[in-house]
Structure 1
Amino acid sequence: MKTEFSIEPCEKENIKKIVDGINEYNLSKVPAIADIWTRLEFVAKDENGIEIGGILAGLGYWNGLEINILWVKEEYRKKGVGTRILKHAEKIAIEKGAKISMLDTFDFQAEEFYLKNGYNPIGEMNGFPEGHRRIYFSKELTE
């Protein structure tokens, strides 16, 4: 029996239904440790209040630190700014009960940075983008 359906662009209410649907399924399999997504988003500013870096991350239902973006302005790279931002987010995540951190990056971005900061590669995709690698990392968080 063939099921008839349409595929359409998402509206805001559709996105909520999709997110609620996957969360309901996931939580039926593994109970939540935390009730909601806890944003851990921080910006680093120079002495003039200009943004020189930042991190967009958060803690999910199972209290894992998920790092989506960590950026440092080019002239501030290799000066400890990124490490300080990362350690700040990790420290707060640990205080909130996180035991693991996870992220992905590309070989042309921050592979060496994450290795230097104790992250372990757990997988990679070769040829994405063409001629490069996308690397997935995790790190056990300890105080």
Structure 2
Amino acid sequence: MSAVTAVPAAANADAVAHFSARLAFETDVSDVAADLAAGAPGVVVVDSRSKESWDQGHIDGAVHLPTAEIAARARDLIPQDVTVVTYCWGPGCNGATRAALEFARLGYRVKEMLGGFEYWAREGFAVETAAGLTRRPVDELTAPVSGIACAC
């Protein structure tokens, strides 16, 4: 017996609904990087981590707004008509999910960036620190080292 098919795959209509919903709620670091590089309008990236984490390194162009401050400060910092993309440390952290929930409660359109800051850095995108912009080498387990997009 197959471990994969022991529970049958969902019906096609259910699969379409499920995967469409996931794409409505999530984005990835490559898509965020492409939008930031292109200056795509209507997207604001929010780092929901602590000041110490922000100071250690963050996405250039992101807004720093820790989750605990979103309800009180979001309307003063972020226009209501944008799509907010939240991120935290990485896949082992649900901080971006908590931040996305806070923005949703305030009526914002919001997506969570899969992989968080960890995968941003691991894929070789620029990281801003007190010393300026820096890049880590691309981790070949997360992105093509050639610099060409994975085209997924």
| TM-score, normalized by the shorter chain, greater than 0.5 | no
Higher relative contact order (CA 8 A, sep 6+): 2
Structure holding more helix per residue: 2
Taking structure 1 as the reference length, the TM-score comes to 0.28
Larger Rg: 1
